[in-house]
Homo-oligomer: A and B are copies of this chain.
Amino acid sequence: MFSLTSPLILASQSPRREQILRMLGFEFSILPADVDETIPSGMKAPDVPEALAKAKSLHVSREHPEKLVLGADTLVVLEDRVLGKPSGTQEALQMLSFLSGRTHQVYTGVALAMGGKIVGSGTACTEVTFETWNKDVLEAYVRGGESLDKAGAYAIQGQGAFLVQGIRGCFFNVMGLPIQKTLRLLQPYQRP
């Protein structure tokens, strides 16, 4: 259904992003970009994922200028506090306690590069509302080990689904790739 005029590279090592792009029916190869993911000082949180997505896609595009390169970055934000991947079980538990019973925002930025230049980019936001859970339950979840490599210390597509009361927006954006933004970026390169 979705067939492109140029080969596509996904500049990400996230198995979730790979899964979503395959689910949509795209063919692509994977080449993670090795870029500095430090949040630039002075930049507002919602602007960060798009900036990092651009950096990732540009990095890979310079090596493969004849291909389309899709980069993405996901950030969890609650009350102006940015939650990245937790440093360990202790920080994971702190993050989940902070998210419990509240609504947070998940921003994913996407960028498409070709010939060493950005040809399109955007950001999508999904609101995620957590149920209220006590410390014992959150500790049991963290012990399961799923939290440690996830922004915000939970996986909405894993056992962590039990934490979530509901969402508003694109589900796959929370997993790491906003569907409509991604389709719109690739639209000009669709085979008719």
Contact = CB atoms under 8 A, between A and B. Distances in A.
Contacts of A164: 170, 179
Report which residue of A131, A158, A179 has the largest number of chain B beta carbons within 10 angstroms of its beta carbon: A179
The copy count of this chain in the complex is: 2
A165 interface: yes
A141 B180 contact: no
Question: How many residues of A sit at the interface, in one of the four size bands?
Answer: 20 to 34
Instruction: Specify the main secondary structure of chain A where it touches its partner.
Output: mixed
A159 B2 CA distance: 10
Interface of A: 1-2, 20, 23-25, 126, 131, 137, 140-141, 144, 156-159, 161-162, 164-172, 179-180, 183
27 contacts: A1-B137, A1-B140, A1-B159, A1-B162, A2-B162, A20-B161, A23-B157, A23-B158, A23-B159, A23-B161, A24-B159, A24-B161, A25-B144, A25-B159, A126-B166, A156-B171, A161-B179, A162-B179, A162-B183, A164-B170, A164-B179, A165-B170, A166-B169, A167-B167, A167-B168, A167-B169, A167-B170
